[in-house]
Amino acid sequence: MKTPPAAAYIAPFVVFIALRWLPFAPEWLAPVRVLAVAATLVVFSRRVIPRRLSLPAASMALGVAVLTIWIGPDLLWPRYRDCWLFHNSFTGTARSSLPASVKSNVFFLAVRVLESALLVPVLEELFWRGWLMRWAIRMDFESVPIGQYTAASFWAVAVLFGFEHGPYWDVGLIAGAAYNWWLVRTRNLADTMLAHAVTNAMLAAYVLLFGQWQYWL
């Protein structure tokens, strides 16, 4: 049976989400999830993962800018996320679900950084901007060039990307719009993957260096 074209863009995201919230110990679930997602990317997605960057330096700069936006409100207003807009039954709360025991587990932390900085940017960019932003224009999404958009597809992806991030939906929305804009500008998923990877890698470093575990929900 022929694999549907959308599977290359959707399958890694589905596997990641399905394995992210299973009620098992994170110290063994995390490496299983990384291996499962990596295998899914190799099997389903390798032909659609771009390998050439258009604007690497600017993409990295955008990643740094998005990180600043991500942590900025909490630095400026320490109780900002206690507001009901970010602390409710729909969005959840900005508190890490990680048990204290894994916060000093070097193997777990290395796996979590690898997942956050390398795998998540690839699988999320494939899903949100490689597939959904085009599918929202035309169900035959492969006929829509990478980077083409309508106002509806642009903002639908930005909003959904924001709400994927729970109590950080506000900065997630801004990040989603920034990555969308960069794809429209570069017409290259490799550039948005790099920007996303820089944001996530630097956020992981911030979490580990300053103990800001709430960013790892």
Position 1 in a domain = no
Position 208 in a domain = yes
In single-letter form, the type of residue at position 17 comes to I
Question: Would you mind telling me the total number of residues written for the chain in this entry?
Answer: 217
Position 186 scores a pLDDT of 98
If one counts every other C-beta atom within 10 angstroms of the C-beta of residue 121, the result is: 22
Position 21 scores a pLDDT of 82
In single-letter form, the type of residue at position 208 comes to L
Position 104 in a domain = yes
pLDDT level of residue 1 (50, 70, 90 thresholds)? low
Q: Give the mean pLDDT of 91-99.
A: 93
Range of the domain at 19: 7-215
Position 137 in a domain = yes
Position 67 in a domain = yes
Tokens of 92: 């959840």
pTM: 0.96
Could you report the per-residue pLDDT of 133-160, keeping only the tens digit for each?
Answer: 999 999 999 999 999 999 999 999 999 9
Position 16 in a domain = yes
Position 22 scores a pLDDT of 86
Tokens of 10: 């959707």
Q: Give the mean pLDDT of 86-100.
A: 93
Lowest mean pLDDT among 9-13, 22-26, 67-71: 22-26
Domain count, the chain: 1
d(CA 176, CA 128): 9
Name the helix (H) or strand (E) containing 161: helix 151-164
Start-end of H helices in 24-150: 26-40, 56-76, 106-114, 120-124, 133-135
Residues 6+ apart with CB under 8 A from 91: 85, 163, 166, 167, 169
Residue whose pair of structure tokens reads 């900025």 in the numeric block: 72
Answer whether 195's CB lies under 8 Å from 183's CB. Answer: no
Arithmetic mean of pLDDT over the chain: 96
Q: Give the mean pLDDT of 1-20.
A: 92
Position 2 in a domain = no
Assign 3-class secondary structure to 120-156: HHHHHHHHHHHHHHHHCCCCCHHHCCCCCCCHHHHHH
